[in-house]
Amino acid sequence: MSQEPSPTHTETPRQLPLDGSPVWYHDNGVAWRTREGAVAHMVQIGPPSPIRMGYEKSLPPASDLGMPDMQRGHTIGAEVGAESPYGLTYEHKSLNQSNSDTLSKRDVETMWRRLYEQKPSNVDLYLVTETSVKPSGPGHHNGACLDTMHYEVWARQRGSGEPPRTLKEIFQDQRQMKRQSRPVLSGSIQVNGDPQRPKITSSVTSRSEQQSLVTELARRPERKRSIRRKIS
């Protein structure tokens, strides 16, 4: 399975075409820019990669830009097997720390991985994300900070004897994929206000058969809920 080589911190972060043309960075991963300028991904979720590519290192360390409470982050990491060099952002450190008040990016990535681990062998999972960014805050214009990340996980069950389809085949007709699939997880993470002192809103919606997994990870019993928390 092919994947682009790891960058160094001296490289320029990769950019997607402004016309929305898709870029295949991995056999199981494609990215493109939406009309609104967000970075979108479609990934077939696979086993976690044993090697991290470290694409976020193409961004300067946040501390070098005067943002000590921020860190470099990615939209699609090695947890789903197709780490992406696109959708790289700066984000508050709390977004990658599990806590009882809100759903962190780490919690979300854990849900994606656990869905893969628990799925039947004849079910394929497809992750679709959309990530938008904003300036780092009033008086700060260094780098692009996470604004919103939306995500959906779709499950497609193969028929008896049907071989797995490649992501390129699925991507060519997403409408057909969604007709033949069902959403099992969706949600978003939104950073409101100054990214360095943010109010973080997280939401997640699951189908009933995945409720126990979501309840365990989100630490709350409701089927759908949003939580707001201000970082002091």
pLDDT band at 129 (very low <50, low <70, confident <90, very high): very high
- DSSP-derived pairing of the beta strands 145-157 and 123-134: antiparallel
Overall average pLDDT of the 40-53 stretch? 90
pLDDT band at 104 (very low <50, low <70, confident <90, very high): confident
Q: What domain count does the chain have?
A: 1
Under a CB-based contact definition with an 8 Å cutoff, are residues 150 and 130 in contact?
Answer: yes
- Whole-number pLDDT of residue 12: 55
Residue 10: inside a domain, yes or no? no
DSSP state of 175: H
Q: What separation, in Å, do the N-terminal and C-terminal C-alpha atoms of the chain show?
A: 44
As a whole number of angstroms, the distance between CA 14 and CA 28 comes to: 18
Percent of the chain whose pLDDT exceeds 90: 29
pLDDT digits (tens, 9 = 90+) for 76-87: 999 899 899 999
pLDDT digits (tens, 9 = 90+) for 139-177: 444 568 899 999 999 999 888 888 888 999 899 887 787
Tokens of 173: 């007709």
As a whole number of angstroms, the distance between CA 127 and CA 183 comes to: 10
Under a CB-based contact definition with an 8 Å cutoff, are residues 67 and 196 in contact?
Answer: yes
Tokens of 111: 């849900």
Domain with 82 in it = 23-230
Question: Does residue 45 have a pLDDT over 90?
Answer: yes
pLDDT band at 33 (very low <50, low <70, confident <90, very high): very high
pTM over 0.95: no
Under a CB-based contact definition with an 8 Å cutoff, are residues 212 and 218 in contact?
Answer: no
Q: What angle do CA 89, 95, 97 make, to 5 degrees?
A: 135
Tokens of 208: 């009933």
CATH of the domain at 33: 3.40.570
Residue 202: inside a domain, yes or no? yes
More confident residue, 174 or 219: 174
Residue 101: inside a domain, yes or no? yes
Residue 1: inside a domain, yes or no? no
As a whole number of angstroms, the distance between CA 22 and CA 74 comes to: 18
Q: What are phi and psi of 12, to 5 degrees?
A: -85, 135
DSSP string, 125-153: EEEEEEEEEE-SBTTB-SS-EEEEEEEEE
Residue 35: inside a domain, yes or no? yes
Residue 179: inside a domain, yes or no? yes
Q: What angle do CA 147, 150, 153 make, to 5 degrees?
A: 155
